[in-house]
Structure 1
Amino acid sequence: MNAVEYLLDIVVKNKNREFLIDCQSGEYLTFGKLHEHACSIAQDILNKGLKKGDRIAVLLDNSIDTALLYFGCLYSGIATVPINPVYSREEINFFIRHSGVSIIVVSENTIEKIQIESLKSNGTKILQLVQNDKKQTEEKTIDFWNLRNLKKVNEMFQPFRYVRPDDILTIIYTSGTTAQPKGVVHRIGSLIDNAKLFVKELDINSTNRFYGILSMTYLGGYYNLLLLPYVAGASVALSKTFNAQSAIDFWKPAITYGVNTLWLVPTIISILLKIDRGKNGEKFCREKVKCALVGTAPLPIKLRKDFEKRYGVILYENYGLSETLFISTNSPKVSRQEDCVGRVLPGVQVTIFDNSVKALPYGEEGEIYVRTFSLMQGYYNSENRGADSIDNTKWFGTGDIGILTVKGDLSITGRKKDLIIRGGINISPMAIENILHNHPAIEQAVVIGIPHEILGEDIVAVIKLKEGNNFNEVIGSIKEYSRERLGTACDIGQFFQIEEFPLGATGKILKRKIKEIVAQKLELTIAPQKNGLRERRGEIHN
């Protein structure tokens, strides 16, 4: 059974079961109803003149309608280009132009993020989702689109009629910090088959109900919390995208709608530990949560332990890239190793290479290379309107540094672009950060390298203090603490305090921005990075 057949089989087996629950309105949608809506949307898309392989940009907040649109595109063979509304207007319009979409779908909340006249002049059609039918404006600047009130599906219509597993499902733009973002192209088969592997490893099934708190316009919310639960026959309580304000009532929707499966990211964990003052979350997690997953960014050991201790759940960390999808995961099947992102998934191969691309023995540290059937088709090329094809039978360099055991357990020790070379010695910022996170006054720490005339690079720690701590009063204790636990090679040259770390659209800390801030303070010139992680990704070796 191929990926397309598998998707249709899910509908047959789960037709009357709940799949989506809207935490705002309380609306429930079964697998069968989702299928009906997806068919009518697919038919309407094709009636608009689009054909298989065309692209639709999705600039929407989390909602059932957003999910319906994704499945309608899937059923009709139209590739989606999800765009996170938190991006700047300039970034959003770059994604639209670069991907060459025929249509962009917006809402009343997101339409202000696009340059309407510019898009119309380029022939890009703008559709605004509405709940109730509206009269079209005389200027016809935009067209209104009510996904719930479309023409009845023609009896001759067949979902997936011309769609194959190798067809493009989505183009996900990575957030660039040193270069322009790249469009990661994934096929239907790679996403669905990778999801099947993952849910099997974690025993995720129809009894799991996820909490949809990540944005549906990047892989965290679109793949991890929509497609993957669908593949498992599970359900999703769909909420607004998580932010600091929603953290105050974070547990209420989860309790109300019977959530038992969490998918968190380190930023959310950190905010919950700081803001959540009640006991409802602790009680709920201990009594109801059967599975708690975490990924998308490195999880500091102390942060994991603090969350597990407070909420009484085990966090199963996983590892993957936008380009590769899931590579490894911790699971109840395997005893968890300290500071490990899990066991490599069946069917996925991982090897550790040195700088000369020579394979290293188990237990030695080097760059992580992966060979997987779920590797992206390539990066989107705006000139030929297709992906620069990549051979998934060859090794793909991740740009991450790690160690692989003989049993297949994988640890991440750093990122190649972040390594600090001090006096000829390679130093992992992550190792230093993990030590600093254990100091009682430090809430979060980021370690970077800065130019040094003699040593080549020196070590700088940028720290965010816990509430109630004064930098001048605790810095002596922090310096002594770090000296006692770090060797002289890792001695931290300077400390800086920061109120809030700069974050990207997906909540990841932007180290490049931190380097720029430190450089300004020290009046340094930070040269453009060469062979950084984003440039290294995509490097293929036999």
Structure 2
Amino acid sequence: MNENFFSRIIESASVSGSKIFMVEHAGKTYTYNDLLNITSIFSEHLHNLGVEPGDRVAAQINKSPHGFLLYLAVLRVGGIFVPLNTAYTPKEVDYFLCDCKPAIFFCSAAKAVENKKAIDAHVRLGSVIFNDSGECATLLADVIHEELAPPVVRDGSDVAIIIYTSGTTGQPKGAMLTHANLTSNAQALTKAWMFDDSDVLLHALPIFHAHGLFISTHCVLLSGSKMIFLEKFDTTTVMENIPQSTVMMGVPTFYTRLLAAPGFDKELTRRMRLFISGSAPLLEESSQQFYERTGHVILERYGMTESAIITSNPYNLERKIGSVGLPIEGVQVRITAESGDSVAVGDVGSIEIKGPAVMKGYWNKPEKTAEEFTRDGWFKTGDLGRLDEEGYLYISGRGKDLVISGGYNVYPKEVELVIDAIPEVQESAVIGVPHPDFGEAVVAVVVPGEKSDTIAENVIAVCKENLAGYKVPKAVKVVAELPRNAMGKVLKAHLRAEHTSLFI
């Protein structure tokens, strides 16, 4: 049996046939037959370019139908897809390309120029260009064979995707997700969220992130439903498309912006059956306001790059505001103390998980992989939480000081390394504080090494040169010294408390 995840897509698409699979922002439609034909063409060209099973194919491209179909074609040809955030700077891209050594790098003409040095050094077959319309001439050329290319045979344990997560040491890690990981999570979520072929998903997420690339789209693919594929989240455009949709997946920022819009009410959302929020904590106040305005309780779920979705509030049973729900099918969750023993119900501890969607490991980092798993095989999420009597999970905090801004993960250490390299900075501490739009905002607390009236502006400027935009501090606070405990550790909780009202 071929365990290539694309084989599951073929099963569904073959049944759906001429049914519309995707409607892009300008109104152009793609059927399931189109999906099969285009991915066949793309996969044949990938093979002709020299991509072999197991090769990495990196892509730093704007969201488009063909960009998404490239992802599916890479799976079909047996390659490993490596999506990269379009906001990454050349310095960041150089690290990723050096680490994963892709066969090909798909990007825009501008990205090909600014990343030329890294491409020449690390990419075996060079770059291939996606134009401003989101299409790639190389992949659209005529094919020699008329028959659809069958998906390359893959084992369930073979890696399908590598998605990079920021590292607590400043060095990003590539989470390896296998074909079996994708299959198990997609099947569990399609069932849990009750997708069927009558659904229409409103897709406004980026596709360089697990949420937009496969958590949302795989439910559509396996159920034979349709999605409205928007270029990005825009409040007006989303509201125009809600009456034609039944499901929306988003980050908290999406919902706070909708709540701020006149006309967002029960009448507008009457055809919707489900709103789902993830990738960042949803404020209970926002959830309550959403219910009062629309009559919908947003379904919160909990996931991470290393395992896709872990828990979800149930579709038909009680959705507890403030909770991220129950473990999905096949997943186990436990809460442990520092000793490793399980804590009592209701007590806060470290969240550990086990299940068929937990990653194979971190690319090229066996020691780091080993560190993140317990001796009995549970993955340490790095998050803190508690379980109630009914098994619902509540996230209490993050043990690794992770900041989630606008749905994107920012590890303070990565930003601190950039700031601390500035000559006029003695040391820094990066924290996340509440923000009404982004959920959390990145804030840098800086101790100057020398007197400077422009240190805050310089910190921002240097961060913009070296980091993706969402990692750049929204504010810089200059202090004489950082608060520390008796062991010399910076008290980031103290800093967060001190600056918690900075934006609200």
* Counterpart residue number, 1:271: 257
Letter in 2 for 1:12: S
Cα gap change, 1:45/1:388 in structure 2, threshold over 3 Å: closer, same or farther? Answer: farther
Residue 226 of structure 1 pairs with residue 183 of structure 2? no
Higher mean C-alpha deviation, range 157-166 or range 351-360: 157-166
Q: Does 1:517 align with 2:500?
A: no
Greater displacement, 119-128 / 73-82: 119-128
| Higher Cα Rg, which structure | 1
Pair 1:201 & 2:159 matched: no
Would you say the 8 A contact 2:101–2:122 is kept in 1?
no
Q: Which residue of 2 aligns with 1:294?
A: 277
Structure 2: any 5+ residue segments left out of the alignment?
A: 405-430, 438-459, 494-504
User: One-letter code of the match for 1:170?
Assistant: I
- Per the TM alignment, residue 335 of structure 1 is displaced from its structure 2 partner at its CA by 1.0
Q: Structure 1 residues 380 and 104, CA, compared in 2 at 3 Å: closer, same or farther? A: same
**Counterpart amino acid of residue 323 in structure 1:** E
Uncovered stretches (5+) of structure 1, i.e. residues with no partner: 135-143, 420-428, 431-459, 467-499, 533-542
Structure 1: how far apart are the matches of 2:54 and 2:433?
46
SS in 2 for 1:217: coil
Q: Classify the secondary structure of the residue corresponding to 1:147.
A: helix
The number of residues matched between the two structures is 434
Aligned residue in 1 for 2:22:
20
Offset, 1:128:
0.4
Cα deviation code 1:414-468 (max 9, x no counterpart): 122349xxxxxxxxx99xxxxxxxxxxxxxxxxxxxxxxxxxxxxx9956689xx
3-state SS, counterpart of residue 72 of structure 1: helix
**RMSD of aligned Cα (Å):** 3.7
Q: Which amino acid aligns with 1:414?
A: G
SS at match of 2:176: strand
* 2:36 counterpart residue number: 35
Q: Is the 8 A contact 1:99 1:382 kept in 2?
A: no
Q: Distance in 2 between matches of 1:99 and 1:369?
A: 28
Cα deviations across residues 516-541 of structure 1 (Å, max 9, x unaligned)? 934x2454378788999xxxxxxxxx
Specify whether residues 296 and 325 from structure 1 end up closer, same or farther in structure 2 by C-alpha distance, changes over 3 A only.
same
Q: Give the TM-score normalised by structure 2.
A: 0.77
Quote the Cα distance in structure 1 between the aligned partners of 2:187 and 2:57. Answer: 26
* Pair 1:153 & 2:155 matched: no
Q: Percent identity?
A: 24
CA distance in 1, matches of 2:195, 2:7: 20
Matched with 1:68 is 69
Partner SS state of residue 141, structure 2: coil
Q: Deviations over 1:234-263 (max 9, x none)?
A: 221111122xxx2344312444xx222111
- Bigger relative contact order (CA 8 A; separation at least 6): 2
Quote how far apart the aligned CAs of 1:176 are. Answer: 4.1
With over 3 angstroms needed to count, the CA separation of the structure-2 counterparts of 1:465 and 1:327, relative to structure 1, is closer
Matches within 5 A, 1:74-473: 74-108=75-109, 110-111=111-112, 114-124=114-124, 125-130=126-131, 145-153=137-145, 155=147, 158-176=149-167, 178-242=169-233, 246-255=234-243, 258-274=244-260, 276=261, 278-279=262-263, 281-283=264-266, 285-381=268-364, 394-418=377-401
Q: How many angstroms apart in 1 are the aligned matches of 2:489 and 2:92?
A: 20
Once residues 463 and 5 of structure 1 are traced to their aligned partners in structure 2, the CA distance between those partners, rounded to angstroms, is 43
* CA–CA separation in structure 2 for the residues paired with 1:211 and 1:380: 32
Quickly say closer, same or farther: Cα 1:406–1:93, change in 2 above 3 A: same
Contact 2:180 2:356 in 1 (8 A): no
- Whether the 8 Å CA contact 2:102–2:123 is kept in 1: the answer is no
Q: In 2, distance between residues paired with 1:522 and 1:465? A: 29
Cα displacement (A) at 1:228: 3.0
TM-score (norm 1): 0.72
- Tell me the CA shift for residue 311 of structure 1: 3.1
CA deviation map 1:190-216 (0-9, x unaligned): 112111101211111212211111110
Contact map agreement 1:131 1:148 (CA 8 A) in 2 = no
Assess if the C-alpha contact under 8 Å between 1:341 and 1:412 holds in 2.
yes
Q: Which whole-Å deviations, capped at 9, do the CAs of 1:2-24 have from their partners, x for residues lacking one?
A: 5554332112221121111101x
